[in-house]
Structure 1
Amino acid sequence: MASSTAPGEDDGMDAFIEQFKEQKYKGGFNQDNWEEEFDKIPIFMKKAPEELDPLEHPELACIQTILYDEDQSPEELAKTYKNEGNDYFKEKNYKKAVISYTEGLKRKCSDSELNVVLHTNRAAAQFYLGNNRSALNDVIAARKLKPNHLKAIIRGVLCYIELKSYSKAIAWCDEGLQVEPKEKQLIELRAKADKQKRIEERNLRKAKLTEKKERVQAEALLRTIKERKIKLFQPPELSSQNSDDDDGGDKGDDRVLRALFDGINSENGVVVHLDENGNLIWPVLFLYPEYEEMDFISAFHEDTRFIDHLSVMFAENLPHWDTEKKYESNNLELYFEDEQREDLFHVDPVCTLRQVLGHARYVVKAGNPRIIVLARGSSFSRDFLSGKKLQAN
């Protein structure tokens, strides 16, 4: 007769459990690690891992497979991705939010309301990432599905303001206020866009007036330079343009001059200009090749003589680099150089700047007339002049 035993009596389980009675369990949670351990359990996780490794997180991979089961309908999948995107958005992980909303839109579900939400939410995430154009494209897509969707309109207005398209921002505000006349945010945004639009228009008017004034001044400056027969250095491309100009004559010269003086800056940041009496005021460089030094005269009136400046500059306090005390105003020789032909021309100190600039061989380079200054009779002066071709002035 077969004997009957209770379940578990002969399966060894009692003996197995018995051996643990005297052993303390070491794998339990304690007050120091319980939060960390809970965060490893999917249902209690506050934040998903940045990279999901199925081997490291098999339970998460399993849940993800269930959540995004392709057997689900496009509507169900789109909603799941929307919820995931919302979670990322709350965590301020806007890049992942964009990815989730995009995946939701890829399902191409038939629920237009859900698609509107996906587009609008993705627009918000793109906006926070600074991708204003992408955000705007999303709200436009949302409004195609639902023209009066207030959130899409508000987010579109924000994008237009960031893009400085104030007129479109105002137009969208007006459309939104037709839907909800008392919408506070739209009222505030419209006032902001209108204010910025007025500021932009005012700045544009000021810029145009400034541009017009500068153009008139430039034309007067170019006209005066041309009347004085002053030659400006022309880069090869401008020289060929002038010689090949079909119009020829004054029109071709004016075009080249305008190109040369369009925003011209001297090496020292000061530009030639006209004074109130129509006289040219130049930034002039005095070069001292013996010591590789120079002086910069920021405002040299064209009718001022060179000796007038030099007598002040070398009156009592001679420059620190003149250790031999030979650069005195009555002991200076002035020259200008035709660099193209390597010719050197003597300049009489009693000449005016206008007389020198009007010389047939003088060319102004980089906006700065330049004069070479040497100490008369010095050994450096003799060596320097011996290597140049001196021409009668």
Structure 2
Amino acid sequence: MVSSDNDGVSARTAGGGQSTANVVIEHGPSLPPSMTEPKQSVDELVADLKKSPFFMTSLEDVGAEYNPGVEAIKALIYEGSRSEQASNFREQGNEDARSKNWTDAREQYSKGLAVLKVPRRSEDPVADDEDKTELMLKELLLVNRALCQLELRNYRSCTLDCMAALQINPRNVKAHYRMASAMFAIHKLAEAAIACRAGLMVDSTNATLTALQAKILEKQKAMDVKQKKIQEEADIKRKQATTLTQALKARQIKLRNTNQSPETKDAEIKLVPDPMSLKSTLVFPVVILYPLHLQSDFIKAFGEEQTLQGHLEYLLPLPWDTIEEYSSNEAYMETVSGGLIKWGKKVELLKVLSGGKVEVVDGLIKVNIVPKSRASEWVESFKKSRPK
């Protein structure tokens, strides 16, 4: 016979042995349905916990939902005097700064400064040294916000906060250092050096200011060397330009600029081999035009003592001239008056340029090459296209 004790925990046979019969074990009344539903996942549980101010890691965890606990905590920030409120914002900003959350820290410091600007209410108690405390807090908030601006690369805002802090306390070494750092970052080395010296006058043993001053001096030396090199190069170019002008004037070569210079890269009028010597040879970039076929060739350096024939011997026959129409040709250049002058192939370039009839426009010489059989045809066409 099977017997069972009162609490339903075990069941034994009369002989004391464990029964193999099925036993219904009761644990009391059934649980309500809400407690027997499936449990939340871990993520859902954490999300719910974060809605409680005790477990909250950020106000962003609240979302758009109204949370009385959070609103109560936020209201506490604005309890107390202006200095107490500003101190609360400063402490929150310091926590964000320690975590390198510079944007959030800047916002907290800005709120603290804003609180100090709010007019006092007549019923608010004012301590004897309240004004002094507020001024000290303003200085600290400005210097701390300057650090945030520096880390966020808002260098102008950083210097403005430092200047405001120094107006309160000219001996604030951190303000001098952060202003110097901001100036150094934007390569205003003279201003950075002044800020460094001002800070070192307050604390001559300050290691960070001393290190920054060394970096400024090193950078200044490098910039001085670079500026000297730039100045030397500019002086050389200026002397070369003067020598070139003198050489062109001595050879009676006319130049004209239209402010529509063609793109010729490094091809330009120059003296070779020595651009500083009047005895050197003038070379010109020359474009060879084939107007009847809308084709062209470019000669980067055409020496003043060279002839057209020497260059044409290299260019001809033209790859696109399948009937060798240009095997016999004539060369023409525009004159100052808008007409044409024929350039003999054995005549040196200098002789054509120094006659006063031809000018070099925008640093480039243009030569028209036409087949001899069609030369008169092209000349007449050119004359008709010119305005009277």
With structure 1 as the length reference, what TM-score do the two structures score? Answer: 0.74
Alignment partner of 1:228 is 2:237: no
Q: 1:302 aligns with which of 304, 309, 312?
A: 304
Alignment partner of 1:362 is 2:358: yes
Alignment partner of 1:68 is 2:68: no
Q: Give the deviation of 1:79 after TM superposition.
A: 2.0
Flag the 1:141–1:326 CA change in 2: closer, same or farther, 3 A. same
Flag the 1:42–1:374 CA change in 2: closer, same or farther, 3 A. farther
Tell me the residue number matched to 1:9.
none
Tell me the residue number matched to 1:42.
53
Measure, in 2, the Cα distance between the counterparts of 1:266 and 1:207: 25
Measure, in 2, the Cα distance between the counterparts of 1:50 and 1:201: 54
Deviation track 1:215-259 (CA, whole Å, cap 9, x = no partner) reads 111112122223333332244xxxxxxxxxxxxxxxxxxxxxxxx
Tell me the residue number matched to 1:24.
35
CA contact (8 A) 2:82 2:115 kept: yes
Alignment partner of 1:319 is 2:318: yes
Flag the 1:266–1:27 CA change in 2: closer, same or farther, 3 A. same
Q: Give the deviation of 1:30 after TM superposition.
A: 4.1
Measure, in 2, the Cα distance between the counterparts of 1:367 and 1:116: 63
Measure, in 2, the Cα distance between the counterparts of 1:182 and 1:103: 34
Q: 2:175 aligns with which of 152, 156, 166?
A: 152
The structure having more radius of gyration, on CA atoms, is 2
**Identical pairs, percent:** 25
Greater shift, 128-137 or 28-37, is seen at 28-37
Q: Give the deviation of 1:149 after TM superposition.
A: 2.1
CA contact (8 A) 2:304 2:350 kept: yes
Measure, in 1, the Cα distance between the counterparts of 2:191 and 2:99: 32
Alignment partner of 1:290 is 2:292: yes
Greater shift, 176-185 or 131-140, is seen at 176-185
Residues 49-88 of structure 1 mapped to structure 2, 5 A cutoff:
49=60, 53=64, 55-57=65-67, 59-68=69-78, 72-88=80-96
CA contact (8 A) 1:335 1:371 kept: yes
Residue identity in the other structure for 2:177: I
Residues 241-256 of structure 1 mapped to structure 2, 5 A cutoff:
none
Q: 1:270 aligns with which of 248, 267, 272?
A: 267
What SS is found at the alignment partner of 1:327?
Answer: helix
Alignment partner of 1:384 is 2:386: no
Q: 1:353 aligns with which of 349, 357, 372?
A: 349
Tell me the residue number matched to 2:332.
335
Residue identity in the other structure for 2:297: D
Measure, in 1, the Cα distance between the counterparts of 2:192 and 2:156: 14
Flag the 1:52–1:359 CA change in 2: closer, same or farther, 3 A. farther
Residues 119-268 of structure 1 mapped to structure 2, 5 A cutoff:
119-235=142-258, 267-268=264-265
CA contact (8 A) 2:50 2:61 kept: no
Measure, in 1, the Cα distance between the counterparts of 2:353 and 2:62: 73
Flag the 1:50–1:210 CA change in 2: closer, same or farther, 3 A. farther
Flag the 1:344–1:86 CA change in 2: closer, same or farther, 3 A. farther
Q: Give the deviation of 1:199 after TM superposition.
A: 0.8
Measure, in 2, the Cα distance between the counterparts of 1:324 and 1:98: 80
What SS is found at the alignment partner of 2:32?
Answer: coil
What stretches of structure 1 of length at least 5 have no aligned partner?
A: 1-17, 236-259
Deviation track 1:102-149 (CA, whole Å, cap 9, x = no partner) reads 232223363222212211121122122222121112112222222232
Greater shift, 88-97 or 162-171, is seen at 88-97
Flag the 1:325–1:102 CA change in 2: closer, same or farther, 3 A. same
Flag the 1:46–1:352 CA change in 2: closer, same or farther, 3 A. farther
CA contact (8 A) 2:51 2:62 kept: no
Greater shift, 167-176 or 183-192, is seen at 167-176
Please tell me the root mean square deviation across aligned C-alpha atoms, in Å. Answer: 3.2
Flag the 1:32–1:145 CA change in 2: closer, same or farther, 3 A. same
Alignment partner of 1:100 is 2:108: yes
Q: Give the deviation of 1:341 after TM superposition.
A: 5.9
Greater shift, 138-147 or 80-89, is seen at 80-89
With structure 2 as the length reference, what TM-score do the two structures score? Answer: 0.75
Measure, in 1, the Cα distance between the counterparts of 2:256 and 2:217: 49
Measure, in 2, the Cα distance between the counterparts of 1:306 and 1:125: 70
Measure, in 2, the Cα distance between the counterparts of 1:153 and 1:85: 21
Q: Give the deviation of 1:198 after TM superposition.
A: 0.4
Tell me the residue number matched to 2:21.
none
Measure, in 2, the Cα distance between the counterparts of 1:51 and 1:90: 23
Flag the 1:323–1:301 CA change in 2: closer, same or farther, 3 A. same
Measure, in 2, the Cα distance between the counterparts of 1:319 and 1:26: 93
Q: Give the deviation of 1:96 after TM superposition.
A: 4.2
